[in-house]
Amino acid sequence: MDAIAAGYAIDLHTHSLRSDGALTPEDLVRRAAGRGVRIQALSDHDTLAGVAAAVVTGNELGVRIIPATELNTESEWGDAHVLGYFIDPADAELEDRLRWLRENRGRRIELMVEKLNVLGYAVDLARVLDIAQGGALGRPHLAQALFEKGYVKSYDDAFSTLIAKDSPAYVQRVGLTPIEAVTLVREHGGVPSLAHPGTVVGLDELLPKLVAAGLAGIEAYYGEHTPEMTARCLDRARRLDLVPTGGSDFHGRGEHGTDLGGVFVPPETIERLESRRGRA
Binding site for Zn ion (CB under 5 A): 70, 81, 195, 249
Shortest distance (Å) from residue 9 CB to Zn ion:
20
Q: Which is nearer to Zn ion, 86 or 151 (CB)?
A: 86
The residue sitting closest to Zn ion, measured at its beta carbon, is 81
| Cβ neighbours, 10 Å, residue 21 | 27
Shortest distance (Å) from residue 247 CB to Zn ion:
8
Instruction: Annotate 131-195 with three-state secondary structure.
Output: HHCCCCCCHHHHHHHHHHCCCCCCHHHHHHHHHCCCCCCCCCCCCCCHHHHHHHHHHCCCEEEEC
Shortest distance (Å) from residue 21 CB to Zn ion:
9
Q: Check if the beta carbon of residue 11 is closer than 8 Å to that of residue 265.
A: yes
Gap between the Cα atoms of 249 and 71, Å rounded = 13
Q: Which is nearer to Zn ion, 82 or 112 (CB)?
A: 82
* Torsion sign (Cα): 156, 11, 226, 80: positive
Q: Which is nearer to Zn ion, 195 or 218 (CB)?
A: 195
Tell me if residue 280 falls in helix, strand or coil: coil
Shortest distance (Å) from residue 118 CB to Zn ion:
28
Shortest distance (Å) from residue 47 CB to Zn ion:
13
Q: Which is nearer to Zn ion, 257 or 278 (CB)?
A: 257
Shortest distance (Å) from residue 2 CB to Zn ion:
25
Q: Count helices and strands (H / E) in the chain.
A: 10, 7
Q: What is the DSSP string of 233-273?
A: HHHHHHHHT-EEEEE--B-SSSGGG--TT-S---TTHHHHH
Q: Which is nearer to Zn ion, 41 or 123 (CB)?
A: 41
Q: Which is nearer to Zn ion, 12 or 33 (CB)?
A: 12
Torsions phi, psi for 112 (to 5 deg): -70, -35
